[in-house]
Every structure is written in C-alpha cells, then in structure tokens.
C-alpha cells in the first residue's frame, strides 16, 4: 500500500510514518512525506497515486480541509484520514467524505484500527461499470489484463479462471485510465494505446511485458525507464512475485 503523510510538523510526520511501518511492516507499505497541502497536490498532479492520505487539518498556506476539497473537486476519491488536535474540527471532514480521524498525539491502538479498516476497504473486490448496447456491465478490476484503444473504441482484455474474454465498447483510453486509477493504483499506461494491470504482469523486459493471459505488449520507448521503476516499486511494496 502507498500512503501519503501530510503534516507541517516534522515530528508528527515521522511519528506517523514509524507507527505505520511498525504496524504494517516496511515490506508491505510505502510512506511518502509532505510538509504541506500544496506539495501533496503538486505530487498528485504529476501522476503520483496513493491508497490513502493521512492529512493534518491545521497547516499554513493551504490547510488540510482546503487540500481535501481540492482533491474532491478534481474527482480524487482517495481515502483521507484527518489528523487533528482539535476534535471539534472533525465535523467539517464529513463534507469531503473523510474516511477516519486521528487525534494528536497519535494513539497506536487507534491507528491500528484505522489501518485494519482501511485494508478491509481497499482489498475487497473492486469493480468498474461500463456501458454497452444500453446495458451496464460490471467488471472486477482483478480480471482486467490490459486495455487497448482501437479507433473510437476501447477493448478490455479480461482473464477469468484461465479463460480469456474481450469487451469492446465506445470510448477513449484516457477516460478509461481516469476511471481505473480512481479505484486502484495498479494500472499503468505503457503506451499511448495500452494500459496494463500491474498485478497481472507475468514477466517484463526493457522493451515489453507479458501478461498472465500470455499476451506480449510493447512498452513505449519514451517511458521504458519510468515503467521499470514503477514495476520495481510495485513488486517491492505489494509483495507481488514475477
């Protein structure tokens, strides 16, 4: 799991980071630290995705509540855990659908409960809905091997119980990518025409990836180094074996 920790006091950033690593284990989680809301928003704007954000409410320049509102206004639904020493401010968090609240100083037992609830929410089967011929079709994201664009359509390549299936619908790859990253950080655009599910990568080289379904896909030359780093980070933090 990938967590962002946003607090303008270094001592609290460090305290939360150490507590999370102690409870989850450094092999299962990665923490990214930010001193203010602006740096977090910039990071997300540059393409970084997180499974949850631990966000201090009281900060200089851009406070936590304003940061959360900006995220929601940009259709970012990442779970937010607010951190505050003033519990009366917690009510405002419902306006931005806060996941949980933590008081300062951090109570390890309370943090343990929050992390447990967060893990249960994140790892339940997540699905997306696509429309085809007037019907809504539910696709579990774990079944998605890759998605490719073809003319004015996108094709979902699915893999269930050892059987492959394709679903071709009208749409753009960019809109599909936006939909996928709202519910999971496991998707990566390896080419202007291709999105892969990192969880379903069987092997990869400097130039291509092979999916569990057996299909080999080319990685665009311009992003090969970035993909290699993203795959390394994914394998390290998720425990996924290739």
pLDDT at 148: 97
77 in the same domain as 138: no
The pTM score is 0.57
Q: In this structure, are strands 187-191 and 163-170 parallel, antiparallel, or unpaired?
A: unpaired
The DSSP 8-state label assigned to residue 219 in this structure reads P
CATH code of the domain containing 55 = 3.40.50.2300
The parts of the chain modelled with pLDDT lower than 50 are none
Considering only CA atoms, which of 96, 97, 80, 83 is closest in space to residue 19? 83
Choosing from 67, 94, 122, the residue where a domain stops is: 122
164 in the same domain as 118: no
174 in the same domain as 91: no
Count up the domains in the chain and report the number: 2
209 in the same domain as 168: yes
What is the span of the domain harbouring residue 81? 2-122
82 in the same domain as 13: yes
204 in the same domain as 170: yes
For the stretch 160-193, pLDDT in tens is 867 889 999 999 999 999 999 888 888 999 999 9
63 in the same domain as 21: yes
Q: In this structure, are strands 144-150 and 2-6 parallel, antiparallel, or unpaired?
A: unpaired
> Measured at the alpha carbon of residue 30, what is the angle toward residues 55 and 200, in degrees to the nearest 5?
120
182 in the same domain as 108: no
137 in the same domain as 114: no
Choosing from 82, 103, 122, the residue where a domain stops is: 122
CATH code of the domain containing 143 = 2.40.50.1020
């Amino acid at each position: 799991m990938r967590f962002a920790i946003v607090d303008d006091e270094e001592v609290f950033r460090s305290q939360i980071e150490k507590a999370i690593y102690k409870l989850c284990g450094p092999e299962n989680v990665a923490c990214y630290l930010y001193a203010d809301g602006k740096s977090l928003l910039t990071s997300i704007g540059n393409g970084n995705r997180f499974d949850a954000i631990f966000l201090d409410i009281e900060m200089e320049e851009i406070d936590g509540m304003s940061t959360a509102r900006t995220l929601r206004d940009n259709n970012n639904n990442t779970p937010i855990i607010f951190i505050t020493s003033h519990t009366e401010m917690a009510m405002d968090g419902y306006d931005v659908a806060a996941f949980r609240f933590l008081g300062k100083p951090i109570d390890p037992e309370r943090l343990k409960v929050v992390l447990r609830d967060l893990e249960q929410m994140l790892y339940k089967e997540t699905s997306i809905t696509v429309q085809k011929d007037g019907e809504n079709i539910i696709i579990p994201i774990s079944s998605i091997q890759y998605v490719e664009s073809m003319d004015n359509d996108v094709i979902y390549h699915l893999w269930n119980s050892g059987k492959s299936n394709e679903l071709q619908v009208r749409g753009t790859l960019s809109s599909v990518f936006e939909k996928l990253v709202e519910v999971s950080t496991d998707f990566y655009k390896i080419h202007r025409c291709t999105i892969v599910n990192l969880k379903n990568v069987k092997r990869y080289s400097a130039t291509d990836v092979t999916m569990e379904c057996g299909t080999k896909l080319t990685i665009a030359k311009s992003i090969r180094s970035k993909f290699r780093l993203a795959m390394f980070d994914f394998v390290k933090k998720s425990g996924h074996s290739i």
